[in-house]
Structure 1
Amino acid sequence: MSTGLAALAPLAQRGERTSFTIRGARVFDGRTRTSADTVTVEDGVVTGIGSGLSPVPGAPVVEAAGGLVTPGFVDAHAHPVAAGVEALSLDLSGCDSRAETLEAVRRALSAGSGWLTGGGWRMSDFPGGVPTAAELDALDPASVRPVYLINADHHSAWVNTAALRLAGIGRDTPAPPGGVIERDGDGEPVGTLHESAMDLVSAHLPAPADAELDAALTEAQRRLHALGVTGWNDAIVGEYGGMSDALPVYLRAEAAGTLTMEVTCSLWWPRDVHDPEAAVQELAGHRFDRERLRTTNVKLMLDGIVESQTAAMSAPYCRCEQVTGVAEATTGTRYFSPAHLEEAFAAVQRAGFDIHCHAIGDRAVRDALDAFATLRARSGGDAAADHRHHIAHVQVVDPTDVPRFAQLGVSANLQALWAHFDEQMVELNLPVLGGERSRWQYPFGDMQRDGAHLAMGSDWPVSTPDPWQAIHVAVNRTHPTGARPEPLGPDQALDLTCALRAYTTGSAHLGRTRTAGRLAVGAPADLALASADPFALARAQIHTVRNLLTVAGGRLVHAAPSGRTTQ
């Protein structure tokens, strides 16, 4: 394999259209594993998929040695520009403990001035998932640099005393609607802000320069292309949590010809919308559908996350003050009333947008499904319409609601990597969910059996954007890095074909992509070459698969020299 990849590597650095042959491969075409063993590409276009095809004359030949060719992966739910900003600033996602996190922050504080921003810290590394301002203050005794660090989930922020003072947050500061200010026994803020409370500090952050945001997109494309990803759905395009609107960033890249991903943008539905029709009219001014960039769906965040007890539940969380510090029973946060959702969904669909919901708790999932049911009933079923509405995350789903995804034609946008016993699940989810609701988590298998349409994504930078890690968990419901070895709900595992389909054609369908996620003769090449054929591996070894070659929309964007993988 090394000769062909080595010849292609310099071309990949320039993102050129080129010709080559992959032979000795296995091929998954986006629907099924085929009998083909050869793929030919000429000037960026797929010219052959079959067995024993002649190589393209004069072009490099990549000997796949049984590796699997797939369509390029499409990440159905990611935040790439935000992830790129974090990767190029203070990236804490690689820290494996509280001590490592604090040491990384200490080094960053000593190396600069002004606001320190970044993210990626893990709630499971701190008692109750709540790091404190005191911990940050101890790293900078003079406390002259305000600090704002978003957690890996992007639903919480960790700030120091200087940042709290700048934002005027004290004992008497009320939490904004839908937000939580973590406090000590005396009512003083401790330094962790959840959901809309993050905005109290993020409003004071300096806006990043265009050059910084452009560099972030470039870095995001590089990292995801190295993993075989050729398209993504940016799950929040608008101002949120201290991040600037990414739409101008994408438009600049498209105009410059540097947008190598096929990007679908989810336009942000603010939490303070009072007039849905007016909000939709404003969003409609940003609606377009171009070859590499489109704004075809609207994102509504219906609730928060289980770890901070802000995911919306039908019954109160278990009272586990020793785990979360929350003494009073709560059912979480519902950002929108059922009446608002019904009105908003109707207005969004009339404007020609698809609807993209964040729903973690069983109450939020049901609210979304109820609103979709009302929308369907009021439109008379609308059988001929091409709506691609979807609910992302679907962590806790009442079993009675699972069949409704297929019945209503609502897709499930899965973040499969979360469906195992990692530290956050064991330490922060199970104790507050209790036994019954813990068994309701991530019902992927039941959704598949009921005939629901499935897509898959990473929610990067919340978790790794490597599709093979998510597929491993989807198939096994375990991961080698997990805190416990047994599977989480083994009956909810997906078969490998279904998981691959979800991460390619399934996600491409939701994003209305033109090329990404599809592999067909006569189309611009959009493909990834894996280091092995996962169908030939033991299921427990799927996580070992790595990406070697990526072609996006006809442009060669990644080749690992000598078969080595890079990220």
Structure 2
Amino acid sequence: MQENVEVAFHSGSIFTGSGQPVTGVAVLVNDGRISAIVPEDQLRAHTGPNTRLIDLDGALLSPGFQDSHIHPAEGGTELLQCNLSEAENAQEAVEAIAAYAAANPEVPWIQGGGWSMDHYEGGAPLASLIDAVLPDRPVALSSRDHHSMWANSEAFRLAGIDANTPDPADGYFERLVDGSPAGTLHEGAMDLIAAHAPKSTDDFLLAGLLRAQDDLIAQGITGWQDAMVNGNPENPSTSLAYERALADGTLKVRVRGAQWWARDAGLEQIPALVATRARAEALGLPERFNLGTIKIMVDGIAENYTASMIEPYRDKCGHKTDNTGLSFISAENLASYVTALDAEGFQVHFHALGDAAVRDALDAVAAARAANGPSANRHHLAHLQVVSEADAARFADLDAVANLQPLWACHEDQLDTLTLPFMPESAQDRQYPFGDLVAGGARLAAGSDWPVSSADPIAGAHIAVNRIAPEEHSVPLGGEKQCLDLSTIWAAYTSGTAYVNHREDSTGSIAPGYFADLVVVSPNPFAVPSSEIHNSRVVSTWIDGECVYRASDVAAEQGA
């Protein structure tokens, strides 16, 4: 008898990290790691009076989810500021702004975000909407996707933006008939106002990070790749927030951070990135925090016509325009940068949304492979809204990982009204072509881009399988051939992202020796109709064999 077994999970289904769940076995945990998987009829031989027995009661035990593309500090600080993510229309958003301003009279700038483009004509809210309730305090609010900003007239005035202000090379702002700012700024134009708004302090970034961690753990997420880490120790930075949380023991999850690549600079920034990576390595806890990734924004987004496309966008009448979006970095420079970063041992995390951006990113990986030979850096491309058929087949040969944000892969207002009507005809049936990527042999990881959209992996899995939003009666986006089976997307959220994060030997699977980072989900999503996957909920989340979230505790607290 092994009386030192601390925790034993039994009487449920076990998703080990790939394939279909198994039954009839129990998972044993000791010293924060999985010690064994044994037949249930032998459980008593492995437990003692001090063993904590967890009766799954038919639920699913899974490796903890890992989000492959997320912005926790930004999302957490947004929750602590003017949060518009719950507003269901323009009027509710304006009311939320007014209420936040009234409740926080000492705040000089109203900041935050979360507004949805589909709530406004053309996806571009007007400054006058805010001016009507708050004319004398500057307001600057990021859109849900963080590629646009809504500002009031006072913010434009303080930033010195008027009809004579030219659009920057990497963005633009909406204008009224006389050329003056209408209220919305896109991509690089957002910096024109952000440069004048107060910056987050170190303390505020840490508070946002910890708030986000609580929310994400409650969704079963035990690790992630932060897709935008500012590592400059001279200014408030997310890197320092992570370091502080690590030092004081409040960082519970496992994080791989992607340092931000400044697109207005070049190869000269690499030494600073190397130094920041070394700073994180010197902390001596690589299984908890690592900065070995570089995030490069290749293009924008489709809703504001800045995603880089092979064929041009169409106008409101369906005619071709001369706009193919924005490539923030030329293909030649991108190849040079990726080759240099690959040689330094960095992983590159691409934002590549349009098919031209995807092609440029894959070409850059190919250039790095040609110059440096094969590497274990595991470069990955995130978002992948439009991927040409030819390029979908290149991922496997290049050992490039397809980093999916599944929640977006269905018909919804923003896609149907602000994107599809303006997409080139060749892209209409190639929205988020997950099935094609799998058919081409691509390795998958999965994430959310939260706070752009919900971080809930179960909701994302539901969309990946059905390509239809819950309770909707539309057709699968892109057809049934783009649907994934549940085991494939569940693996992408667990072992797939663990692979991207270079932690597949210790996380992302349920196997002896692995960290006991686990999630219990009920009802078992593998045992319900595919249309009901979204109804499954996280019952508990475990990190290092300790229960860090229990839904019943939350329910009891709310009922008290």
**2:336 paired residue number:** 343
Q: 1:475 to 1:73 in 2, by over 3 A?
A: same
Counterpart contact for 2:70–2:449, Cα < 8 Å: yes
Counterpart contact for 1:231–1:261, Cα < 8 Å: yes
1:378: how far off?
A: 2.3
What is the CA–CA distance in structure 2 between the aligned matches of 1:230 and 1:297, rounded to whole Å? 19
Query: 1:20-419 maps to which residues of 2 (within 5 A)?
Result: 20-32=7-19, 33-52=21-40, 53-54=43-44, 55=47, 57-113=49-105, 114-140=108-134, 143-238=135-230, 245-273=237-265, 275-276=266-267, 278-288=268-278, 289=281, 290-320=286-316, 329-379=322-372, 382-383=373-374, 385-419=375-409
Q: 1:216 to 1:49 in 2, by over 3 A?
A: same
Q: 1:107 to 1:328 in 2, by over 3 A?
A: farther
The Cα offsets for residues 264-285 of structure 1, whole Å up to 9 and x where unpaired, read as: 0000001201x31x21112111
Task: Give the letter for the 2:464 counterpart.
Answer: A
Structure 2: where are the runs of 5+ without partners?
A: none
Alignment partner of 1:448 out of 392, 413, 438: 438
What is the CA–CA distance in structure 2 between the aligned matches of 1:19 and 1:178, rounded to whole Å? 55
Task: Give the letter for the 1:133 counterpart.
Answer: A
Alignment partner of 2:447 out of 437, 440, 457: 457
What is the CA–CA distance in structure 2 between the aligned matches of 1:223 and 1:516, rounded to whole Å? 21
**2:490 paired residue number:** 500
**1:12 paired residue number:** none
Give the secondary-structure state (helix, strand or coil) at the position aligned to 2:392.
coil
Q: 1:375 to 1:523 in 2, by over 3 A?
A: closer
Give the secondary-structure state (helix, strand or coil) at the position aligned to 1:465.
coil
What is the CA–CA distance in structure 2 between the aligned matches of 1:116 and 1:37, rounded to whole Å? 54
1:327: how far off?
A: 11
1:461: how far off?
A: 0.3
Q: 1:402 to 1:74 in 2, by over 3 A?
A: same
The answer on 1:558 being equivalent to 2:549 is: yes
Task: Give the letter for the 1:550 counterpart.
Answer: T
Give the stretch that moved more between structures: 96-105 or 509-518: 509-518
Alignment TM-score, normalising by the size of structure 2: 0.92
Q: 1:250 to 1:200 in 2, by over 3 A?
A: same
Alignment TM-score, normalising by the size of structure 1: 0.91
Q: 1:491 to 1:565 in 2, by over 3 A?
A: farther
Give the secondary-structure state (helix, strand or coil) at the position aligned to 1:375.
helix
Task: Give the letter for the 1:164 counterpart.
Answer: F
Task: Give the letter for the 2:354 counterpart.
Answer: G
Q: 1:63 to 1:564 in 2, by over 3 A?
A: farther
**2:508 paired residue number:** 517
1:392: how far off?
A: 0.3
What is the CA–CA distance in structure 1 between the aligned matches of 2:550 and 2:36, rounded to whole Å? 20
Percent of aligned pairs with the same amino acid: 41
Give the secondary-structure state (helix, strand or coil) at the position aligned to 1:266.
strand
Give the secondary-structure state (helix, strand or coil) at the position aligned to 1:400.
helix
1:463: how far off?
A: 0.6
Greater length-normalized contact order (CA 8 Å, ≥ 6 residues apart): 1
1:21: how far off?
A: 2.5
**2:475 paired residue number:** 486
Give the secondary-structure state (helix, strand or coil) at the position aligned to 1:190.
strand
Counterpart contact for 2:83–2:114, Cα < 8 Å: yes
The Cα offsets for residues 338-357 of structure 1, whole Å up to 9 and x where unpaired, read as: 11011101111111101110
**1:536 paired residue number:** 527
Q: 1:75 to 1:27 in 2, by over 3 A?
A: same
Task: Give the letter for the 1:25 counterpart.
Answer: G
The Cα offsets for residues 441-494 of structure 1, whole Å up to 9 and x where unpaired, read as: 111111112211100000000010110000001111111265x62110221111
Q: 1:36 to 1:236 in 2, by over 3 A?
A: farther
What is the CA–CA distance in structure 1 between the aligned matches of 2:48 and 2:112, rounded to whole Å? 47
The Cα offsets for residues 542-564 of structure 1, whole Å up to 9 and x where unpaired, read as: 11111011112343211122795
Alignment partner of 2:411 out of 421, 438, 455: 421
What is the CA–CA distance in structure 2 between the aligned matches of 1:220 and 1:209, rounded to whole Å? 16
Give the secondary-structure state (helix, strand or coil) at the position aligned to 2:277.
coil
1:91: how far off?
A: 1.3
What is the CA–CA distance in structure 1 between the aligned matches of 2:240 and 2:341, rounded to whole Å? 22
Task: Give the letter for the 1:116 counterpart.
Answer: I
Give the secondary-structure state (helix, strand or coil) at the position aligned to 1:287.
helix
Q: Give every structure 1 segment of 4 or more consecutive aligned residues whose post-TM-superposition deviation is greater than 3 Å.
A: 326-329, 562-567
1:50: how far off?
A: 3.0
The Cα offsets for residues 168-201 of structure 1, whole Å up to 9 and x where unpaired, read as: 0110101111111111222111010011100011
Counterpart contact for 1:24–1:64, Cα < 8 Å: yes
Q: 1:406 to 1:26 in 2, by over 3 A?
A: same
The Cα offsets for residues 65-110 of structure 1, whole Å up to 9 and x where unpaired, read as: 2111110100000000000001111111111112211111121122
Task: Give the letter for the 1:294 counterpart.
Answer: N
Q: 1:530 to 1:294 in 2, by over 3 A?
A: same
Task: Give the letter for the 2:251 counterpart.
Answer: L
Query: How many corresponding residue pairs?
Result: 537
Task: Give the letter for the 2:207 counterpart.
Answer: A
1:534: how far off?
A: 1.4
1:434: how far off?
A: 4.4
1:374: how far off?
A: 1.8
Counterpart contact for 1:38–1:49, Cα < 8 Å: yes
Give the stretch that moved more between structures: 534-543 or 281-290: 281-290
Counterpart contact for 2:404–2:446, Cα < 8 Å: yes
Counterpart contact for 2:378–2:401, Cα < 8 Å: yes
Counterpart contact for 1:300–1:357, Cα < 8 Å: yes
